[in-house]
């Protein structure tokens, strides 16, 4: 179990914009993941993703680690932002674009 937690920490620390989702950005496997990806892609910055369907250990342990029960989960600069509803609301208000652009700028130096 601790190996999985270490992997999660590394993924979150090493990827300024990271989405844990069902499927991939090109082929989301659930509607919530699809809507979250659309909002993220509309921000125009690259982001990393982990398909929890093909990573059962991540799928099993991330909800407890994050204290967030569902997927997708968007992490930006090491902080859990939230799931589909929060991400789409932030996109609609313009908050998401600002957050993502700042994270991308920090990554690019």
Number of structural domains found in the chain: 1
Q: Encode pLDDT of 54-69 as tens digits.
A: 999 999 999 999 999 9
Percent of the chain clearing pLDDT 90 (strictly above): 94
Instruction: Look at residues 41, 32, 40, 100 and name the one whose alpha carbon lies nearest to residue 72.
Output: 32
What pLDDT is attached to residue 108?
A: 79
90-97: which pairs have CB atoms within 8 A and are 24 or more residues apart? 90/39, 91/39, 91/42, 91/43, 96/39, 96/40, 96/43, 97/42, 97/43
CATH number at residue 61: 3.40.30.10
What pLDDT is attached to residue 109?
A: 72
Beta-strand runs (E) in 1-109: 17-21, 48-51, 73-76, 79-82
Average pLDDT, the chain: 96
Region 10-29 average pLDDT: 97
Domain range for residue 52? 2-108
Q: What share of the chain is helix, strand, coil (3-state, %, to 5)?
A: 55, 15, 30
Q: Encode pLDDT of 88-99 as tens digits.
A: 999 999 999 999
> Predicted confidence band at 1 (pLDDT cuts at 50, 70, 90)?
low
Q: What is the pTM of this model?
A: 0.95
């Amino acid at each position: 179990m601790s190996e999985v937690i270490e992997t999660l920490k590394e993924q979150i620390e090493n990827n300024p914009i990271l989405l844990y989702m069902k499927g991939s950005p090109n082929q989301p496997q659930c509607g919530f993941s699809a809507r979250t990806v659309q909002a993220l892609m509309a921000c125009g910055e690259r982001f990393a993703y982990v398909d929890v369907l093909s990573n059962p250990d991540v799928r099993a342990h991330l909800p407890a680690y994050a204290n967030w029960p569902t997927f997708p989960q968007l992490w930006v600069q090491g902080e859990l932002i939230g799931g589909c509803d929060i991400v789409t609301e932030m996109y609609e208000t313009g908050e998401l674009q600002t957050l993502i652009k700042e994270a991308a700028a920090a990554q690019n130096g």
